[in-house]
Structure 1
């Protein structure tokens, strides 16, 4: 079994994701092989007592084609998880100062 810190790689901080935090919706980059139930457990463990996840949506994001001169390459594919907290849940403190 993988640890919760291995499942959640990093938060995604964009204008859209910051605007949805007031609604209790947070966005994370997660491990490619992580399931929705694993992401739910990882968020509840990593961010502590009082954080309850109501819903998790995941999507696989394709890497972009990049070109440098005559060389063509591709950035890696990755997985994004959009986590919705329950109404009685406390906010994730990691995002409080942003």
Structure 2
């Protein structure tokens, strides 16, 4: 049996370490019509861990998780070249009829 089928056992602390923050952008808000919610997550988190964390923290049923690693931009900081940190973004599809209110605290 695969890890995704039997589920992942997470501690509450690890669940909060996985989900860093919601992503509130125009594009992320647009896909909420399709029952998706977007989060910034830990770079070492796997899809089964993200699914278990969202289900534990928000008490919803997750149907699918899509992830993308966003590479940091090269920028100038006070005239010197630098680079922003890479981060991982997860688009979580919720079951029909389920919602997460991101305007309130957890």
TM-score in same-fold range (> 0.5): yes
Cα separation, 1, equivalents of 2:52 and 2:30 = 24
Which 4+ residue blocks in structure 1 deviate beyond 2 angstroms?
93-96
Q: What secondary structure is seen at the aligned counterpart in 1 of 2:102?
A: helix
- Does 2:88 align with 1:79? yes
8 A contact 2:55–2:61 mirrored in 1: yes
8 A contact 2:68–2:89 mirrored in 1: yes
TM-align CA RMSD: 1.7
Q: How many residues are treated as equivalent by the alignment?
A: 93
Give the TM-score, by structure 1 length. 0.86
Q: Which residue in 1 is equivalent to 2:14? A: 3
Superposition deviation, residue 86 in structure 1: 1.5
Give the TM-score, by structure 2 length. 0.80
Flag structure 2 segments of 5+ consecutive residues without an equivalent.
1-9
Q: Which residue in 2 is equivalent to 1:23? A: 34
